[in-house]
Amino acid sequence: MPHCLVDRTRTPRESSVLTVATTRPSPDQTRTLVSGAHAARTTIALKLAMAVSGLIFIAFVLGHMYGNLKAFAGHDAFNDYAHHLRTLGEPVLPYGGLLWIIRVGLIASLVVHVTSAVLLWKRASSARQHKYAVRKYRSSTLSSRTMRWGGLTILLFLVWHLLNFSIGKVNPQGGPTNDPYDLLVDTFEVWWLTLIYLVAMVALGMHLRHGTWSASQTLGLTNSARSRRTANLAGITLAVVVAGGFSLVPIFTLFGVIS
């Protein structure tokens, strides 16, 4: 048999080995694939953490709004409700014990929510290309474009709110701080404090609108056109109800209806 024919002829086993050898990824490619898969899992975990912590805050906000609206029932009804919250869990828990448990849970949720948001923002900033960013900006909503600034506004407002009504109890008119109803009225009779509160409620509404949509996507609830419309409507409804509900008390107090 001619020598050249022997060199060019391979057995099926040799051809299979050659094919595997030429298609096997390099170590660098393998590391890239593993790194990409890990990054994807981390991103999903961060989005899930944001969604769950956000849902916890939504539940709290709705309950807090219900308590605020008690101001329309008058001085005694509002103060009785505030006192009732502090007696929940007695005698197993001390006076105000359940409220502190809720506060600790909310602080933990806040840390998770903010940390996840910052990490996701850094990932998106490092991976985003300019062309993609322009296209995304044009197709996004006002709520999504202001999500981070709105979140920062809410965070600053939360600090002031706690110092004003909860932890610090600062009465801007120098009145009593041990009476929840009087403290509320004295605060919202000051027009610029009411304005700050209303601006924060607008930011909260926009944050809830986009946050509800994002959480629905993360939890797999927007897989059809109908479910996407439902999620969008739910976000808008929640934003209007919460922002509007929280705004009623300061507005009516400023104009003397609640006094």
Q: How confident is residue 255, by pLDDT bands cut at 50, 70 and 90? A: very high
Whether 243 maps to a domain, the answer reads yes
Return the CATH number at 197. 1.20.1300.10
Rounded CA separation 177/81 (Å): 16
Whether 92 maps to a domain, the answer reads yes
Whether 259 maps to a domain, the answer reads no
Rounded CA separation 255/250 (Å): 9
Q: What share of the chain in percent tops pLDDT 70? A: 77
Whether 189 maps to a domain, the answer reads yes
Residue showing tokens 């080995």: 17
Q: What is the pTM of this model?
A: 0.77
Predicted local confidence at residue 112, as pLDDT: 93
Domain enclosing residue 178, as ranges: 44-254
**For the chain, how many structural domains are there in total?**
1
Note the pLDDT tens digit of each residue in 177-230.
Answer: 899 999 999 999 999 999 999 999 999 999 999 889 888 888 888 899 999 999
Whether 53 maps to a domain, the answer reads yes
Whether 207 maps to a domain, the answer reads yes
Note the pLDDT tens digit of each residue in 68-82.
Answer: 999 999 999 999 999
